[in-house]
């Protein structure tokens, strides 16, 4: 059994409710909802949320830790939004926000537009992309989609990387 699910999650100032298989978390920054798998039961008592398996199947035991993590992230996200920073490195590499798209110019013969999800806000300062949202999953997935366009290469370090990510550099060819 998951160690995360053994301890109840503190709801704090948020309003957590479960109705007809849908978990709803309301906070000062917004509201998040998530469907709950039928083999997992979630109960809310006096500001704490407990997750337990409904049956003793292997799937139920695997899912309770996942849902414990989801509940913790949802409660944390509606109070303070999650943020990811991406840095563009390379000569001529540019990024800009045009309407509901992030447009990347990263050395291809064409620009790469990526549509910003509805619950994510993107801002650009020089070559730093800042993504914010109350939903941790959508911020992380959109940041991964942006990084996938041009991951950092090990010889010159050019590409899109996370803030704080360390790129292991290779030496390259040596002159004889």
What are the average pLDDT values for consecutive 10-residue runs of the chain, which has 176 residues? 77 88 92 93 89 90 91 93 95 93 94 95 94 95 96 92 91 79
Q: Give me the pLDDT at residue 102, please.
A: 95
Instruction: Identify the residue whose tokens are 């993107």.
Output: 122
Region label for 67, one of left (φ > 0), alpha (ψ between -120 and 50) or beta (otherwise) = alpha
**Residue 63 and residue 52 in contact, taking contact as beta carbons nearer than 8 Å:** no
Spatial separation of the C-alpha atoms in residues 65 and 162, rounded to whole Å: 27
Region label for 73, one of left (φ > 0), alpha (ψ between -120 and 50) or beta (otherwise) = alpha
Q: Give me the pLDDT at residue 1, please.
A: 62
| Domains of the chain by start residue, with CATH | 3-77 (3.90.930.12), 82-162 (3.90.930.12)
Q: Give me the pLDDT at residue 115, please.
A: 96
- Please count the other Cβ atoms lying within 10 Å of the Cβ belonging to residue 47: 14
pTM: 0.88
Q: Give me the pLDDT at residue 37, please.
A: 92
Phi and psi at residue 61, to the nearest 5°: -65, -35
């Amino acid at each position: 059994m998951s160690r995360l699910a053994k301890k109840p999650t503190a709801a704090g100032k948020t309003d957590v409710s479960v109705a007809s298989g849908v978990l709803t978390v309301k906070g000062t920054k917004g509201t998040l909802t998530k469907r709950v798998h039928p083999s997992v039961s979630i109960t809310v008592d006096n500001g704490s949320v407990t997750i337990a398996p409904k049956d003793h199947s292997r799937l139920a035991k695997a899912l309770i830790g996942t849902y414990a993590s989801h509940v913790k992230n949802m409660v944390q996200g509606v109070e303070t939004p999650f943020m990811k920073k991406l840095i563009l490195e390379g000569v001529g590499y540019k990024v800009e926000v045009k309407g509901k798209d992030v447009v990347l110019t990263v050395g291809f013969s064409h620009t790469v537009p990526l549509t910003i999800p509805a619950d994510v806000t993107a801002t650009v300062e020089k070559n730093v992309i800042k993504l914010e949202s109350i939903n941790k999953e959508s911020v992380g997935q959109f940041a991964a989609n942006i990084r996938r366009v041009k991951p950092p290469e090990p010889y010159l370090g050019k590409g899109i990387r996370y803030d704080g990510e360390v790129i292991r550099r290779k030496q390259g060819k040596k002159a004889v």
